Amino acid sequence: MTSTNETEFDPSIVESLRTRVGEQLEGNASGRGLRIGVACGRFNGGITARLLEGALQALEHSGVDRSDITLAWVPGAFEIPLLAQAFATGPRAVDAVITLGAVIRGDTGHYEVVAGECARGVQDVQLRTGVPVVFGVLTTNTVEQALERSLPDDTNKGRESALTAIEMVSLLRQGSLAR
Ligand code: INI
Geometric angle at alpha carbon 70, from 81 and 94, rounded to 5°: 65
Q: Is the CB of 103 under 6 A from ligand 1?
A: yes
Using only C-alpha atoms, the chain has a radius of gyration, in whole angstroms, of 17
Give me the amino acid identity at 149: R
107-119 tens-digit pLDDT: 667 899 999 999 9
Bridge partners (DSSP) of residue 140 are 104
Confidence of residue 4 (pLDDT cuts 50, 70, 90): confident
Q: Is the CB of 68 under 6 A from ligand 1?
A: no
pLDDT of residue 88 exceeding 80: yes
Show the beta-strand stretches assigned E in 27-153: 36-41, 69-74, 96-104, 133-140
- Nearest one of 77, 95, 79 to 167, comparing CA atoms: 95
CATH architecture designation of domain 31-177? 3-Layer(aba) Sandwich (3.40)
pLDDT mean over 156-168: 98
As annotated, the active-site residues are 110
Q: What is the pTM of this model?
A: 0.95
Average pLDDT over residues 138-144: 96
Measured in angstroms, how far is the CA atom of residue 144 from the centroid of ligand 1?
18
Distance in angstroms (rounded) separating the CA atoms of residues 43 and 91:
28
Cα–Cα distance for residue pair 159/170, rounded to 1 Å? 17
Q: Is the CB of 41 under 6 A from ligand 1?
A: yes
